[in-house]
Amino acid sequence: MNSVSESFKTKPITHLKHIVPLDFKAACNNLPDSHTWNHHDDAQPPADPLTQQETVPVIDIAIPQAMTLIREACEKWGAFQVTNHGIPIELLDQIELQTKRLFALPSEQKLKVLRSPEDFTGYGLPRISNFFSKLMWSEGFTIMGSPIDHARQLWPNDHIDFCNAMGEYQNELRGLTERLLRLMFGSLGLQQQNIGWFNSEIESKSPQAVLQLNSYPVCPEPNQAMGMAPHTDTSLLTLVYQGSVSGLQVFKENVGWLPVEPIPGAFMVTVGDLMHIFCNGRFKPALHRALVNKTSHRISTAYFYGPPKDVEISPPSELIDRDHPVLYRPVTFKEYLDAKGTHFDKALEFIRHMN
């Protein structure tokens, strides 16, 4: 078992009655109280559309300036959309189809692979549900490695296409994530051969990656619902594919929530907490959320890439000097997941050095 799953064994979702997603098909002409959010209480308001023209940068990864643009985007936004990345659109279409096929299954069928409080993979609520008193208008399916055991339960005679598509997708996503990481490290003047955990070929030192499929059913009252509540990702880097239905938003300091409009075939890249720790605060983690709508079922996939399980993440010497003292104490992925599981949006503060 790996550290991500171990960590969730020790920090299970506590309110058991909330581990089963709503049967969205059988529901709902009205939003149940359990899913009604008071948006007027939001600490962060949406950006004023009349005065704000800012958008998350869109970067063609194949142009010579990509490295500089990525650095700027990671410093200012902690996020950007990446295009021209080489992952075939046919594969993305196939992933969208297989994801819709999974969530279209009857509720009883999906519950056969329900993610129990001790588990990390399978069907269930967004993991962050634990930290909010209201429930989100979404359901998810989490994959680590091969999904074959769960896929067999979902489709006893017809799971091969799903498994093949998800396997190929994970390989492509890993390749793209590592290409982006090389550009990011290069943009900070880091020699990647000096980053031991990034180069290791040893199995026990391979990166920890999780593929999350998200489904946001059509919602009767989208203005009072929340698809995925505001959060930063725990990963080093996350790649989100959101198909063609909008809903993803990023929070920009002094501006507010800004939509990330879907671009065909593009991935949204977000800096996670562990990257922020590793680069000693140079890149910031992106606070993001997903809204729902009344007319279109939205699906997304999020690929979370983290360091090998037992590696302590701390900034390389190139990023430490008198003006940039070390901000956080060294942490392994598992230690940080534990901190996040307890302190959620205060986890970074919890590991911060008191300089």
Ligand X SMILES: O=C(O)CCC(=O)C(=O)O
Contact 278, 286 (CB under 8 A): no
Residues 6+ apart with CB under 8 A from 78: 250, 270, 271, 276, 283, 284, 285, 286, 287
Does position 181 interact with ligand X (CB under 6 A)? The reply is: no
| N-to-C CA span, the chain | 37
Q: Is 212 in the site for ligand X (CB under 6 A)?
A: yes
Least distance CB 322 / ligand X (angstroms): 36
How far apart are the C-alpha atoms of 139 and 299, rounded to whole Å?
Answer: 10
* Token couple for 93: 């279409």
Q: Under the criterion CB under 6 A, does residue 351 sit at the interface with ligand X?
A: no
Q: Is 240 in the site for ligand X (CB under 6 A)?
A: yes
Task: Give the nearer residue to ligand X in terms of CB position, either 231 or 309.
Answer: 231
Indicate if 282 belongs to the active site. Answer: no
Among 47, 248, 292, 339, which residue sits at the site for ligand X (rule: CB under 6 A)?
A: 248
CA pair distance 256, 55, nearest whole angstrom: 11
Question: What stretches of the chain show up as alpha helix (H) in DSSP?
Answer: 3-10, 66-76, 89-103, 107-111, 148-154, 160-187, 196-199, 273-278, 333-343, 347-351
CB of 284 to Fe ion, least distance (A): 15
Where in 249-288 is the site for ligand X (CB under 6 A)? 288
Q: Please report whether residue 273 would count as binding Fe ion according to CB under 5 A.
A: no
Q: Does 177 bind ligand X (CB under 6 A)?
A: no
- Taking the complex as a whole, the smallest distance from the CB of residue 343 to Fe ion amounts, in Å, to 17
Judged by CB under 5 A, the stretch of 125-133, 199-207, 230-238, 345-353 that binds Fe ion is: 230-238
CB of 227 to ligand X, least distance (A): 7
The CA angle 3-126-339, to the nearest 5 degrees, is 40
| Catalytic pick among 127, 282, 289, 298 | 298
Specify the residue, 242 or 280, whose C-beta has the smaller distance to Fe ion.
242
- Toward Fe ion, which CB reaches closer, 139 or 233? 233
Summarize as ranges the residues that interact with ligand X (CB under 6 A): 212, 214, 228, 233, 240, 242, 248, 288, 290, 300, 302
Catalytic residue ranges: 298
